[in-house]
Amino acid sequence: MRKRSKRRRIIHTVHNSNSSTQNSGINEEVKHFNWFDTSLIIGFITVLGYFVAYSFQKGYLLYFGITDIFVKQIDIVSVFISITIVGSVFFVVYTFYDHLAKLFEEFSNPYIKLFRKVFLPFLVIGLPLGAYMSSFIKGIIFITLSVILVLIYILPVIKYKDVKGYKHKIEKVLISLDEDGITFKDFMIEVRDTPSMRIVFILGAFLIIQPIMQLVGYKNAEQERDFFVLESKEQNYLVINKYGENFIIAPFNAKENTIKQEFQIIEVKSDFDSPFVYKKINLKDRIKLNETLTK
């Protein structure tokens, strides 16, 4: 009986020590959890959402010849959609890169290793960028990626000219990258731990995303085919966009598929006795500006 009671005491003591260790671990995690950093991240994402929505809207209206004077009211739905799209794009790109990197890790060939460590990040970033760009920008991206790829395999010859054998030169580059190179994970740790890197990362994100989203908005307007037309006896008007509780409209020529740069703002609401009649149309070609009448 005494042995059993001793065993129970020992088990009870071990259980208490384990639970206290777990609780202390949880308390340490809670203690070191930085709520200030979390609030900054949430604030950054919110501001970025507004900035993305503004840049997209600016590019969309710019296609029709409208300046950013009308880009004043960004609704919460647009912000939420922007955050979702940007977050999804980053997640898909990073997941795609992570899977490709793991796939290439199975190869022991030094040439493939160099491709994975140096060129793969440029390739993963360049492909989605080229998806929404014009043919000219796509050509620039293709040429840039080609030059980077060539330089990756030519520079080892120049840098390690004293090393015999091209394969040995590539291996020297790989050793140098392992010792002095920086990976995506290292970069994110640096951003997390260094305040100056956070500022650089935030400023870089805004500088890069702004022209990209403006171009995406411009291309979206160029490819838009579904519109609403406000029909009247004298002139039909194309509904370009919504501005708060109003519509931005412009004179529309259905035969030439053109609009005049004579923009008006009208209320969405109309009287029951004299309602506005909007007709949905689908265009075969993009909307063009009537330059002869706007000069």
pLDDT averaged over the chain? 76
The yes-or-no verdict on residue 163 having pLDDT over 70 is yes
pLDDT grade for 5, boundaries at 50, 70 and 90 = very low
> 184 with 100: CB under 8 angstroms?
no
Query: Is 178 in the same domain as 78?
Result: yes
Query: Is 152 in the same domain as 278?
Result: no
User: What's the predicted TM-score (pTM) here?
Assistant: 0.62
State the average pLDDT over residues 51-65. Answer: 86
First to last CA, the chain: 105
2 falls within a domain? no
> 129 with 212: CB under 8 angstroms?
yes
Query: Is 209 in the same domain as 229?
Result: no
What's the total number of domains in the chain? 2
Please spell the DSSP secondary structure of 103-139, one letter per residue.
HHHT---HHHHHIIIIIHHHHHHHHHHHHTS-HHHHH
Give 201-257 pLDDT, tens digit per residue.
Answer: 778 878 888 888 888 888 888 888 889 898 877 788 999 887 777 888 899 988 888
Query: Is 211 in the same domain as 109?
Result: yes
> 151 with 94: CB under 8 angstroms?
no
- Domain with 255, as residue range(s), is 225-294
Q: Which of 166, 199, 221 is the last residue of a domain?
A: 221
CA distance 14 to 115: 53
4 falls within a domain? no
